[in-house]
Amino acid sequence: MIESKGWNWEIVKDEREEFWKKPSMESYYLLNRWKSQDKKSFLDLGCGLGRHSVLFGKNGFDVSCFDISQDAINRTKQWAESENLYFDYKVGDMLELPYNNEQFDCILCRNVISHTDTEGMKQIVKQLDKVMKHGGECYLTLGSKDTWGFKHEDWPLVDENTRLRMEEGPEYKVPHFYADYNLVKELFSNFNIINVHQEIEYFAKENKVTESYHYHVLIQKA
Ligand SMILES: C[S@@+](CC[C@H](N)C(=O)[O-])C[C@H]1O[C@@H](n2cnc3c(N)ncnc32)[C@H](O)[C@@H]1O
């Protein structure tokens, strides 16, 4: 299995920092959904700068923040405490989640669990199963094989589904696992799959538009 490597958040400042502090669109839907289901314990798995921890904390959830990057955890804590929000914080690797069995009602891991290889991905799915309550839900995103990163043949292939990202920046040499629809169904076959859709994001950089494809998956532990 490939060694885990987190983001280098130290170089994320100004405009990029602002981007990573705005909650994603679907997080508002999940907030509504999970509130109406009386869910309370929320794990922000791979919390980054804490945009979803703060959103859910402000709305009454008991928030646990987890990331492999100490800097990510420090910055989440600093932001949350400036808003008088007090969470549980842990630095660690998602391959071994340091939580009790069936601890969480709901988990959000947006653009996180793809940061491994195929063997790692199977282990993370088992870890999710371990820490979710029965009836608990998890929303996650996975890089799609349709995306430019997987088609980037100059980037080292780690296994049939995984490449190392070689672009300078916070994700330099971070492994990326890419799925297709059949692989999504196979990976989460022990769960109820409530919804899967593929999202396309467009990024314009130096007069060039890049398309980035991700699967968004909502699962429930039976
Ligand atoms: C793209 S960022 C997303 C952050 C956050 N989920 C958000 O939506 O703002 C990916 C995060 O996953 C973390 N990460 C990567 N590999 C990890 C691992 N093996 N265990 C825990 N966190 C990891 C990175 O450090 C980074 O903070």
Q: How far is the CA of 45 from the centre of ligand 1 (A)?
A: 7
Determine whether the shortest distance from the Cβ of 4 to ligand 1 is under 6 A. yes
Q: From atom 25 of ligand 1, which residue's Cα is the shortest distance away?
A: 6
Prediction pTM value: 0.95
Best of 4, 5, 7 to mutate for ligand 1, by most ligand atoms within 8 A of CB?
7
Q: pLDDT value at position 202?
A: 87
Domains of the chain: 9-220 (3.40.50.150)
Contact 139, 30 (CB under 8 A): yes
SS3 148: helix
Is pLDDT of 153 > 90?
no
Q: pLDDT value at position 46?
A: 97
Structure tokens at 3: 């060694």
Q: Which tens digits make up the pLDDT trace of 188-204?
A: 999 999 999 999 988 87
Q: How far is the CA of 110 from the centre of ligand 1 (A)?
A: 8
Mean per-residue pLDDT for 160-170? 91
Structure tokens at 165: 């990202």
Q: Say which range, 78-87, 139-148, 179-188, 196-205, has the weakest mean pLDDT.
A: 196-205
